[in-house]
């Protein structure tokens, strides 16, 4: 095929759709191959505004996939986001089809979820859902992926009922997807759904049930031989044991999670090392805590993980320098980002620690912070913002 040939848009559309399928499946190698192929074909394609916008949106989705699975290969998510944002403003209304509107709001929601702007993410997801049933699409995995992403943001907002519902709807679709040999084609996504379900059981304080689902996710991740999912499964099991106050077991699984994610410089290594340091601090192993704190700060800065940078202040302010103003900085971040669940969880932990030290006035301050966070969650006021 020569560079002078003009390709019909429907020919390119087939490869674009295939590109999106492998993105959803988390197949990084194949997604990169198809991205190059589509870009080459688009350069020789007859003009079509729908395809042009679709490619821009998938470029953003591609970068979001890489940010989780292969963060070192990410070009610039922010540039891709801003480019789509500018382009959409210049698109004539007749080109804004239901499918374009759905992907625009869906992918923008994913972008803001990644930056922990949960209210903004949910606002975009709500807009995307308006178009979901309008799309003439036989591929049920589009709905499944959407349901899963919505379950994630509701999980972070501690809207347990909604999160469980969406995660289970996604799981029921993913488990039906098989190739011609009967092998699951969305095994990774099934594991991720189990992660969310396990997390919701934790929020309901059903720790044994949460551990059951986290362990099942670990076993399934081993079957499909996905290291980053195995690392995440270790992390989730560690969370369960931490809640059960079995700190030695929690430390073991956080260490395993960190070791796995560190090998690939995965973005989740920041979360793993923070929790490992936090458990060490709770065990009063302060020399090891300080070393992990310093290492964790470097890791979080390398990944530009602002959430972990702020959470590390809890360890510094409570266990290393004992400066409650540093701790308050972390809570301001939680408040600014509407992270009321984290605010409640850590405020209770801080208050109990201070109470044990007989520092009653400071303990009351953080108990009040926890109560206010709980009120925000129950009121759901953060879900009604526009």
Q: What is the pLDDT along the chain (386 residues), one digit of tens a residue?
A: 444 567 676 778 888 889 999 998 888 999 999 999 998 888 877 776 677 788 888 999 999 988 877 766 666 788 888 878 777 766 655 556 788 889 899 999 999 998 888 889 999 999 999 998 887 667 788 899 999 999 999 998 888 999 999 999 999 999 999 888 888 889 999 999 999 999 999 989 999 999 999 999 999 899 888 898 999 999 999 999 999 999 999 999 999 999 999 998 888 999 999 999 999 999 999 999 999 999 999 999 999 999 999 999 999 999 999 999 999 999 999 999 989 989 999 999 999 999 999 999 999 999 999 999 999 887 764 444 33
The span from the CA of 272 to the CA of 238, in Å, is 9
Tell me how crowded residue 261 is: count the other CB atoms within 10 A of its CB: 25
- Note whether residue 376 is domain-resident: yes
Domain membership flag for residue 165: no
- Residue 384 pLDDT: 42
pLDDT for position 249: 98
Instruction: Find the radius of gyration of the CA atoms of the chain.
Output: 22
- Report phi then psi at 92, rounded to 5: -65, 145
pLDDT attached to residue 74 = 65
Taking the CB of residue 367, how many other CB atoms lie within 10 A of it? 17
Q: How far is CA 127 from the centre of its chain?
A: 19
pLDDT at 385: 39
Let me know the angle formed at the C-alpha of 227 by 231 and 224, rounded to the nearest 5 degrees: 120
Structure tokens at 2: 């020569």
Name the burial class of residue 43, with classes exposed (0-12), middle (13-18) and buried (19+) by CB atoms within 10 angstroms of its CB.
Answer: exposed
Distances (CA, A) of 112 to 60, 77, 118, 296: 12, 11, 7, 24
Contact 74, 67 (CB under 8 A): yes
Instruction: Pick the closest to residue 276 from 266, 263, 259, 265 (CA basis).
Output: 259
Instruction: State the pLDDT at residue 322.
Output: 92
pLDDT for 120 equals 93
Strands (E), 219-314: none
Q: For residue 167, with 0-12 CB atoms within 10 Å meaning exposed, 13-18 middle and 19 or more buried, which class applies?
A: buried
Return the bridge partners of 178, or none. 184
| Domain boundary pick from 76, 110, 138 | 138
CA 184, 185, 191 angle in degrees (round to 5)? Answer: 75
222: tokens are 């081993």
Vertex 60, ends 59 and 62: CA angle to 5°? Answer: 65
Domains: count for the chain? 2
Question: 3-state class of 214 per DSSP?
Answer: helix
* Predicted local distance difference test score (pLDDT) of residue 386: 33
pLDDT at 2: 47
Query: What is the DSSP-derived secondary structure letter of residue 317?
Result: I
Please report, for the domain that includes residue 54, its CATH number.
1.25.40.10
The CA distance from 130 to 81, in Å, is 22
Assess if residue 332 is contained within a domain: yes
Task: Give a yes or no: residue 247 inside a domain.
Answer: no
Among candidate residues 138, 166, 195, the one where a domain is terminated:
138
Q: Using the structure block, give the residue that is written with the tokens 């530009």.
A: 304
Residue 214 belongs to some domain of the structure: no
How is residue 144 written in tokens? 């499944």
Q: Name which of 213, 208, 212 is nearest 192 in CA terms.
A: 213
Structure-token pair, residue 94:
């007749």
* Nearest residue to 112 (alpha-carbon basis) of 103, 102, 104, 122: 122
Cα torsion angle, 295, 296, 299, 300, sign: negative
Q: Is the pTM higher than 0.85?
A: no
Distance in angstroms (rounded) separating the CA atoms of residues 272 and 51: 40
Question: Are the C-beta atoms of 145 and 170 separated by less than 8 Å?
Answer: yes
In a 13 Å sphere around the CA of 237, the CA atoms on its Cβ side amount to 24
Q: Which domain holds residue 24?
A: 1-138
Q: Tell which residue, 199, 216, 194, has the closest CA to residue 148.
A: 194
Report H helices in 283-339. 286-302, 306-315, 324-336
Q: What's the pLDDT at 82?
A: 83
What single-letter DSSP state applies at residue 26? T
Say if residues 221 and 235 touch (Cβ distance below 8 Å).
no
Distance CA 277, CA 302 (A): 18
Domain final position from 112, 138, 164: 138
């Amino acid at each position: 095929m020569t560079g002078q040939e003009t390709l019909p848009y429907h020919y390119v559309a087939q490869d674009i759709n295939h590109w999106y399928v492998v993105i959803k499946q988390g197949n990084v190698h194949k997604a990169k191959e198809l991205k190059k192929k589509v870009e080459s074909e688009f350069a020789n394609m007859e003009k079509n505004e729908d395809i042009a916008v679709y490619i821009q949106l998938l470029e953003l989705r591609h970068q979001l996939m890489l940010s989780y699975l292969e963060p070192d290969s990410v070009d610039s998510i922010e540039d891709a986001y801003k480019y789509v944002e500018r382009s959409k403003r210049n698109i004539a209304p007749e080109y804004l089809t239901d499918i374009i509107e759905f992907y625009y709001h869906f992918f923008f929601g994913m972008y803001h979820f990644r930056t922990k702007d949960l209210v903004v993410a949910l606002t975009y997801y709500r807009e995307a859902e308006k178009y979901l049933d309008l799309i003439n699409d036989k591929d049920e995995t589009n709905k499944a992926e959407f349901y899963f992403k919505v379950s994630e943001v509701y999980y972070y907002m501690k809207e347990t009922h909604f999160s469980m519902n969406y995660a289970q709807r996604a799981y029921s679709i993913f488990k039906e997807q098989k190739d011609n040999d009967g092998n699951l084609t969305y095994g990774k996504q099934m594991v991720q759904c189990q992660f969310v379900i396990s997390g919701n059981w934790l929020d309901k304080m059903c720790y044994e049930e949460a551990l059951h689902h986290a362990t099942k996710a670990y076993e399934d991740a081993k079957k499909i031989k996905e290291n980053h999912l195995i690392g995440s499964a270790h992390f989730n099991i560690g969370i369960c044991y931490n809640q059960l106050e079995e700190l030695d077991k929690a430390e073991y699984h956080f260490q395993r999670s960190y070791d796995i994610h560190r090998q690939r410089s995965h973005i989740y290594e920041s979360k793993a090392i923070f929790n490992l340091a936090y458990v060490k601090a709770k065990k009063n192993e302060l020399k090891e805590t300080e070393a992990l704190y310093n290492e964790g700060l470097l890791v979080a800065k390398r990944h530009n993980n602002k959430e972990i940078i702020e959470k590390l202040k809890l360890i510094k302010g409570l266990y290393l320098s004992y400066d409650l103003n540093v701790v308050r900085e972390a809570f301001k971040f939680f408040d600014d980002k509407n992270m009321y669940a984290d605010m409640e969880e850590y405020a209770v932990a801080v208050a109990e620690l201070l109470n044990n030290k007989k520092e009653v006035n400071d303990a009351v301050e953080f108990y009040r912070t926890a109560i206010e966070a709980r009120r925000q969650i129950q009121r759901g006021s953060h879900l009604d913002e526009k």
